[in-house]
Chains A and B, each alone.
Chain A
Amino acid sequence: MVSRPVKFSIQGLHVHYGELCVLRELSLEILANEIFTVIGPANSGKTTFLHSLNRLIDLAPGSRVSGRILLDGDDIRLRLEKENLRRKVGIVFALPLPLPLSIYENIVYGLRMQGVRDRAVLDEAVERSLRESYLWEEVKDRLRSPAMNLSGGQQQRLCMARILAGRPDVLLFDEPTSGLDPISTARIEETLLELKERYTIVLVTNNVAQAARVGDRTAFFLMGEMVEVSETGRMFTAPADPRTSDYITGKFG
Chain B
Amino acid sequence: MNPARLRKLKEWLIERAILLSGVFSVVFVVLIFLFLLREGLSLFRGESVLDFLFGKSWYPISEPPRFGILPLILGSLLVTLGAAAISVPIGLAAALFIAEIAPGRLKEGLKAGIELLAAIPSVVIGFIGMITLGPFIKKLFAVPTGLTALTGSVTLAFMAMPTIVSIAEDAITAVPRQYREAAIAMGATKWQTTWRIVARAARPGMVAAVMLGIGRVIGETMAVMMVTGNAAVIPSGMLQPVRTLTATIAAEMGESVQGGSHYAALFAIGIVLFVITFLINGVADLYLHRSRK
Mark A residues whose CB is within 8 Å of B: 54, 56, 59, 83-87, 90-91, 93, 95, 97, 99-101, 109-110, 113-114, 159, 162-163, 166
Q: Are B188 and A113 in contact (CB under 8 A)?
A: yes
- Shortest Cβ distance from B293 into chain A, in angstroms? 8
* A87-B179 contact given A99-B197, A100-B200, A113-B196, CB 8 Å threshold: no
Asked whether B185 lies within 8 Å of A56 as measured between CB atoms, the reply is yes
Bound CA–CA A99/B196 (angstroms): 10
B187 contacts partner chain A, Cβ-Cβ < 8 Å: yes
B183–A91 touching, CB < 8 Å: no
* Given known A97-B178, A99-B197, contact A110–B186 (CB-CB < 8 A): yes
The answer, yes or no, to whether B249 is at the interface (CB within 8 Å) is no
**Residue numbers in A under 8 Å from B188 (CB-CB):** 83, 110, 113
**Min CB–CB distance B103 → chain A (angstroms):** 10
CA separation between A99 and B176, bound complex, in Å?
10
- Are A86's CB and B178's CB within 8 A? no
User: Is B112 on the interface with A (CB-CB < 8 A)?
Assistant: no
Contact with A along B193-225 (1 / 0, CB 8 A): 000110011000000000000000000000000
Compute how far the CA of A97 lies from the CA of B184 in the bound complex, rounded to whole angstroms.
13
Minimum CB distance partner of A109 in chain B = B186
Docked complex Cα distance between A124 and B82 (Å): 47
Chain A interface SS verdict (over half): helix
Q: Are B185 and A109 in contact (CB under 8 A)?
A: no
User: Contact at B187–A83, with CB atoms within 8 Å?
Assistant: yes
Query: Which B residues contact A (CB, under 8 angstroms)?
Result: 176, 178-179, 181-189, 192, 196-197, 200-201
Majority SS at the chain B contact face: helix
Chain B CB within 10 Å, residue with most, of A91, A101, A113: A113
22 A-B residue pairings within 8 Å (CB atoms):
A56-B181, A56-B184, A56-B185, A59-B181, A59-B184, A83-B188, A86-B184, A86-B185, A86-B187, A90-B185, A93-B182, A93-B185, A97-B179, A97-B182, A99-B201, A100-B179, A100-B200, A100-B201, A110-B188, A113-B188, A113-B192, A114-B187
- Chain B positions within 8 Å of A97 at CB level: 176, 178-179, 182
A77 to B183, alpha carbons, bound, how many Å?
20
Given pairs A59-B181, A59-B184, A113-B187, 12 additional interface contacts (CB within 8 A):
A83-B187, A86-B184, A93-B182, A97-B179, A99-B179, A99-B183, A101-B200, A109-B183, A110-B188, A113-B196, A114-B187, A166-B187
A100-B200, A100-B201, A113-B192 known; A90-B178 Cβ under 8 A: no
Q: Which residues of A contact B192 (CB under 8 A)?
A: 113
Residues in A whose Cβ lies below 8 Å from that of B183: 99, 109
Partner of A86, one of B186, B196, B197: B186
Q: Give Cα A162–Cα B184 distance, bound, in whole angstroms.
A: 13
Q: Which residue of A lies closest to B179 (CB)?
A: A99
Nearest-CB distance from B184 to chain A (Å)? 7
Roughly how many angstroms separate A162 CA and B197 CA in the complex, as a whole number?
Answer: 15
B201 touches A163 (CB 8 A): no
Instruction: Report chain A residues within 8 Å CB of B187.
Output: 83-87, 110, 113-114, 166
User: In the complex, A127 Cα to B187 Cα: how many Å?
Assistant: 21
A163, B186: Cβ atoms closer than 8 Å: yes
Least distance between B203 CB and chain A CB atoms (Å): 9
Give 7 nearest A-B pairs by CB, closest first: A87-B187, A86-B187, A110-B186, A83-B187, A97-B178, A91-B185, A100-B201
